[in-house]
Amino acid sequence: MYTKVVHMALFKEEELDHAAESITRLRLLGVQDKDISVISGIPFSEKILDRPMSWTNVGRIGIAGAVLGFIASLLFNFGTPFLYPLRVADMPIFFPIPTSIVVTFELTMLGLLISTFIGVFVETISPSFGPNGYHPKVSDGHIAVLFSGPILLDQQFHTTFEELGATLEHDVEEEKLWL
């Protein structure tokens, strides 16, 4: 076993092509995609960077929330009248159609939107498995390629990134960005 060190290569914002190229070269050096992570100040799609697709469960969590909201609305509309039946005008007590449709819609949407946010929140604060590390220059538009590779390849990494005009930094992992 060899120790892995996290490296960070910082590219200037106009050097996006170099950043994409560096990922190809890292792959040639034997660094796997799961050991690479790109952080940037604006979103670049995976295709631009030639990276495997990210995944997220936000959509699924959102739909689950919508279902919960829908069920809650059914309980409100069709359940609560049984607890304490009260008649208003000549509206049906136990089968409140069409008035219940409004409540159903609102609560379904509420469930969808709130749980989408909860999904984002939970996924954001849960641990990520790629190489960690951060540099404030990223929010200045720099593109940082984070990767961890065997210490033996250190020299090769340095030459690769010098060719592409990036600065290579080490030991960027310790920073704690949230709580």
Partner 1 sequence: MAAETKLFGKLKTAEQEHEDPKEQLMFDPRPREELNRMVMEMMTTTTKKFWLWAIGLGVGVVVLLFGAWGYMISTGMWVTGLRRPIFWGVFIVTFVFWIGISHAGTFVSAILRVFKAEFRRPFTRAAELMTTFGLAAGALYPLIHLGRVWVFYFMIPYPNARWLWVNFRSPLVWDLLAITTYLLSSTIYLYLPLVPDLAMARDRTTGIRHSAYKILALGWRGTEAEWFRLRKAIQIFAFAIIPVMFSVHTIVAWDFAVSQVAGWHSTIFGPYFIIGAILSGVSAVVTILYILRSTLKHMDYFLRPEHFDALGKLILVFSMAWAYFFFNDYLLGWYGGEAAVRQILTLHATGPAAWVWYLMLICNMAVPWLTLWNRKIRRTPWLMFIITLTINVGMFAERYTIVPLTLGHQRTPFDWGVYTPQPVEISIVLGTFCLFTFLYLITSRLIPMVPVWEVQEGQVAHTLRKIGKAEVPTVTELD
Partner 2 sequence: MAEVSIAEKWGLVVDQDRCTGCNACVVACSMENNVPFTGEDNVAFGRGTYWIYNKRMWEGEYPRVAPAFQPVMCQQCGSAPCEPVCPTFAAVHSEEEQINLQVYIRCIGTRYCANNCPYHARQFNFQDPDIPEPMNSYLNPDVTVRSKGVMEKCTFCVQRIVGGRQTASAEDRPLRDGEVTPACVAACPSGALVFGDLSDPNSRVSQMAQNERQYKLMDELGTKPKVTYLKGGGRNGG
List Cα–Cα distances, 59 to 16, 129, 144, in angstroms: 30, 21, 28
State both tokens at 146.
Answer: 């984070």
Examine residue 85 and tell whether it contacts partner 2 (CB under 8 A): yes
**Selected binder of partner 1 within 15, 44, 64, 168 (CB under 8 A):** 44
3-state secondary structure of 150: strand
The one among 90, 125, 126, 127 contacting partner 2 by CB under 8 A? 90
Q: How far is CA 92 from CA 54, 82, 95, in A?
A: 50, 12, 6
Q: In angstroms, what is the minimal distance from the CB of 107 to partner 2?
A: 16
Cα separation values, 105 from 42, 100, 115, Å: 35, 9, 15
Binding of partner 1 at residue 134 (CB under 8 A)? yes
- In the complex with partner 2, which residue's Cβ is closer, 99 or 139? 99
Q: Which lies closer to partner 2 via its Cβ, residue 53 or residue 88?
A: 88
Using CB under 8 A, which of the segments 24-32, 79-87, 150-158, 163-171 binds partner 1? Answer: 79-87
Asked whether position 87 contacts partner 2 by CB under 8 A, the answer is yes
Q: Are 135 and 172 in contact (CB under 8 A)?
A: yes
| DSSP letter for each residue of 96-140 | -TTTHHHHHHHHHHHHHHHHHHHHHHHHHHSPP-S-----GGGGG
Closest contact distance (angstroms) between CB of 71 and partner 2 is 23
For partner 2, which is the closer residue by CB, 96 or 150? 96
Give min distance, CB of 121 to partner 1, in A.
7
Interacting residue ranges for partner 2, rule: CB under 8 A: 85-91, 99
